[in-house]
Amino acid sequence: MIAPSELIINPDGSCFHLHLKPEQLADKIIMVGDPDRVNTVASYFDTKECEVSSREFHTITGTYKGKRITTLSHGIGTDNIDIVLNELDALANIDFASRTIKPEFRQLTMVRVGTSGGLQPFVPVGTYVAAGKSIGFDGVLYFYADSANVRDKAFEAELLKQLEWKLSGIQPYVVSADSSLIEQITQDDIIRGVTIAANGFYGPQGRQLRLPLADSELNRKIEAFDFNGSRITNFEMESSSLAGLSALMGHRAMTVCCIIAGRVAKEMNTEYKGSMTGLIETVLDRI
C-alpha cells in the first residue's frame, strides 16, 4: 500500500498536482509547455469530454478522428516533467481506492510538442526536430534506481571528453526516445536529432546577460561535437526526463520541437505560433 504522503490524492479523487481522475486520462497524450497551447491542440478535437486546470497544468481529453487523446501542459523544466510523468503513471497503473499497483500494466504513448533553439546550420528556424536522443543537464534521472539501464554510457563518456566538461557536481546523461514512436511520428519529413535538455534558459543554454558563465566556450564545443556522425541539434528543457522516466516506467515517449531560434546565427522568431500549428496537426494525425 502506497502511503498518503507519497501518493497524494485530493478529496475529489484526483491526483495532487494535475487534478485529474484516472477515468479522465487517455492512452494517447500530447504534451505542451504552455497552458494556452492546450486549447490550440484541443481546437482540432471532434469531441471534448473533460477540461481541468490546476496551476500550470491544463488538461483536455477528447477525440480526434476516432482516437481518444489527452492534451496537457507541463510548464517549464525537467522538474515539472518529474511531477507530470509520475502522476500520469499513477493514474494509469495505481488503484487509487486501494493505493496498490494494478496487476496489469497500462502503457501510455506521450508526444511532447515544444519549441527549441537550433545549434546547427541544417536545423534553421522553422525546422521540426525530434529528439531521437536527449542529453540531460538536469540530473533528474539520477534520483531513480537502475537509470544506467536506459542510459547511453558510451555517448555520455564522449560528451565529457569532447566538451572538456568543467561543471563540477553536474554530469550529463543520455537517453533515447522510444524507437517505434520516433518512427511513427517522424516518418520521412521530420529530422531525428540529438537534443540537450537544459536545466535553465539562460546560463545553462549559454546565454550571458549580467552574470558570467562558468564555461563561456561550452556552446562552441557543443556545436562542434560529433560522435559516430551524431551532432547535437538543439536546446530545449524537458526531453531528457520525459524520455528517461518513460523508459524506466515502460511507457512510449518522445519530444518533437519547432526550431524558433538559431543560436549560431543569433536569429529569433517571436511570431512562431503559425509554425507550431503545423507540427501539432502532424502529431495529431500520427499519434
Distance CA 86, CA 98 (A): 18
Break the chain into its structural domains and give their ranges: 22-286
Cα(80)–Cα(172) distance, rounded to whole angstroms?
18
The pTM assigned to this predicted structure is 0.94
Q: What are phi and psi of 254, to 5 degrees?
A: -160, 165
Class of the domain covering 22-286:
alpha beta
Q: How far apart are CA 237 and CA 199, in angstroms?
A: 6
In tens digits, what is the pLDDT along the chain, a chain of 287 residues?
A: 999 999 999 999 999 999 999 999 999 999 999 999 999 999 999 999 999 999 999 999 999 999 999 999 999 999 999 999 999 999 999 999 999 999 999 999 999 999 999 999 999 889 999 999 999 999 999 999 999 999 999 999 999 999 999 998 899 999 999 999 999 999 999 999 999 999 999 999 999 999 999 999 999 999 999 999 999 999 999 999 999 999 999 999 999 999 998 766 666 556 555 678 999 999 999 99
CB 90 within 8 A of CB 47: no
